[in-house]
Each structure stands twice: as C-alpha cells, then as structure tokens.
A = this chain, B = another copy of it.
Amino acid sequence: MPYRAVVVGASGYSGAELLRLLAGHPAIEVSAATSREFAGADIATVYPNLAAYAGRSFVALDEADLEAADIVFLALPHGASMAVGAPLAAAGGRIVDFSADFRLADAGLYRTWYGAEHSAPEWLGKWVYGLPELHRDQIRGAALVANPGCYPTAATLALAPLLAAGLIEPAGITIAASSGVSGAGRGMNAGVHFSHVDASVKAYGLGTHKHTPEIEQELSIAAGAATTVTFVPHLVPTARGLLATCVARLAAGATAASVRDAVAERYAGEPFVRATPSPPETKYVSGSNGAHVHATADERTGAAIVVCAIDNLGKGAAGQALQNANLMLGLDETAGLTAGGIYP
C-alpha cells in the first residue's frame, strides 16, 4: 500500500512541481493537495500539465488531514510555514518543509536576515538540513527535514567538498549565481512581467539575500570553521535553471587538478550529482533532480572556480524534497526521480 502524502501549498510553482513528480512515484500517492487560492478548483484545470490529476481538486488547508498522512510536504512561504509546521511537528508528523523557517539553527540569524522574530524558536536545530549529499545519514529515518533553498543547494554542492578537503580558504569566497524567474514564485509584480524580464539580465540583493546565512551555516559545517561568503544573485531570462559560480582562494598547494579531482571523488557514487568535464549548462538538468558540478582553478590568480547547475524547481526545491522523503520513508532514494533533463 502506497504512502499517503499531503502537499500543503500545492498550487505554487514548487508545490505543483512536486505534484508532477509524485504522479510518477511508485510508492507515494497524494492524498490531498491544498491551496488557499484554488481550493475547490480542478487541479488539471489550474495546471493543465498535471493531466494525471484531472477530476481531483485542490482543497483548503483545514480540509486536509495532515496527521493521517505518512508524510506532509509544506510548500508554503517563509513565515507561513512555521505556523503549520511547529504544531504538526509537535503532533509527531513526518514533514519536509520547503521554506526557510527551520533551516537555520540560530534564531538570531533568522531575526537578522528575515527581519522578524521566529515564532517557534524551540524547534530550531531539531530539523535536519535536507541536503542528502551532506546529511544523508541524519535524513534517513528523520521525521523533520528542512528542505534547502535553491541557491544554498547549488553553492553548497559546489564548495563543500573543497572546504572539507582543505583545498580552499574559508574566507573571501564570492558566489555569483543566476536564477530563472520561477525562483521568485508565482506571485505577480513588475519584476516578473515578461516584457521586463525577457532579453535582460540583472543582479539583485547585493550582499543582502536571505539565503546567505544558510549558505554560510552549511559551508561552516563543511569547513569546520566559520565561513563567510559575498553572495550576489542574478535574474536571467529563463523560467527554470540556476547556476552558481563560486570563486575562492586556493589553499597552499591546491591546484586545478586537485580541486577537480576532489569534486569528482566526492560525488563519484552520488545518484544525482555529477562532476562534469566542462562547465555545466542549466538546460541539461532542466526538469530533473540532477546537479552538475565543475571545478577548476585559475592558478595564475590563485583562485578556485567551481560552477554548479541545477533546476531551481528540481534539485533546488521539489526534486530534493522528494529525495528527502524517499530517505525518510526508507524508500529507494531515486524513486520517482529518475527522469533525465529536458533537452533541448
């Protein structure tokens, strides 16, 4: 009998992507998909791509029996998630949370970067940070998993192996990352108007993006030392796709070859992360849970350069959430996630 999943906030881009993936999952079925905006509407009418859900409707949150679910995916915005997640956690629920609400172990960092008090600080530090390539053993069998942000996923996959191996310095790291527009969600504002975004590229949130402390938390763990990053995200005219370009100082003795090899060895057995012989392109992982990483160095300037490509809605959100759920439920980690990227 399949596991029953509830997807809360299923009409956002990440939630709908999870519905798409779950439609092909061999061991999990969707018992309810909630949406505040579209409760009562046929799922396949709101998202005509989700033909597998024709005849089923989104429901309101209070119509979904979260406690009866084997797993609950919370695909809610930051701030809204903790209000649902904290009581459900207290009730013993098994949860993958897409928001940032339970990612940071430190309530002070939450306050600083999110500009608000955390309403359930007692839960911080009790959720596992759901990046399986770093924390697989803890995720396996865990009940509470905080699914990483899209930028932190790419940046951490790129840099953690080199920090762990002592091949780069933990100070002076620069991360310039580019994301497709779906990363900003389904909400409307002038910044996502097609006529504005098309044929344009911009940087935003220079040094102030909320994903920064999350990146630093994970890199510091990997490095075993406090690590800070200067993070500059960019918006590029694609719907999906995220590329993180990371530049760090080479440690003494490190070379282009040693950083390349360290990444290749680190990910040799991973089902979703591949070390690629040339710099990755986001299109090759589009629609998939894949992450492509390429590491080299500019030995002339003493800089390691590591680039990681993911689909922000795949490995950067719904794909990774499902990977976490598979681990939590004791299923094959790749179940429902074997599809290759859509190319061209």
User: Which residues of A come within 8 Å of B, CB atoms?
Assistant: 13, 16, 20, 23-24, 45, 47-52, 54, 172, 174, 176, 178, 180-182, 186, 188-190, 192-204, 206-208, 228-230, 232, 234, 236-241, 243, 245, 247, 249, 274, 276-277, 279-288, 290, 292, 294, 296-298, 300-301, 303, 305, 307, 309, 338-344
Contact = CB atoms under 8 A, between A and B. Distances in A.
Nearest to A52: B340
B48 A292 contact: yes
The listed residue with most B CB atoms (<10 A of its CB), out of A20, A234, A340, is A340
A52 B279 contact: no
A201 B241 contact: yes
B207 A300 contact: yes
Contacts of A172: 172, 249
A303 B174 contact: yes
B247 A232 contact: yes
23 contacts: A23-B339, A47-B284, A48-B281, A48-B292, A49-B283, A49-B340, A51-B288, A51-B290, A172-B172, A172-B249, A174-B176, A181-B194, A181-B198, A192-B195, A193-B193, A200-B241, A200-B282, A207-B296, A207-B297, A230-B301, A236-B236, A237-B238, A287-B342
A245 B174 CA distance: 11
B202 A309 contact: yes
Query: How many copies of this chain are found per oligomer?
Result: 4
A220 to B, nearest CB: 14
Contacts of A197: 194
B49 A13 contact: no
Nearest to A274: B51
Contacts of A238: 198-201, 237
Contacts of A309: 201-202
Given A193-B192, A206-B279, A286 B199 contact: yes
A45 B176 contact: no
The listed residue with most B CB atoms (<10 A of its CB), out of A189, A202, A279, A288, is A202
A264 to B, nearest CB: 13
B283 A196 contact: yes
Contacts of A339: 20, 23-24, 339
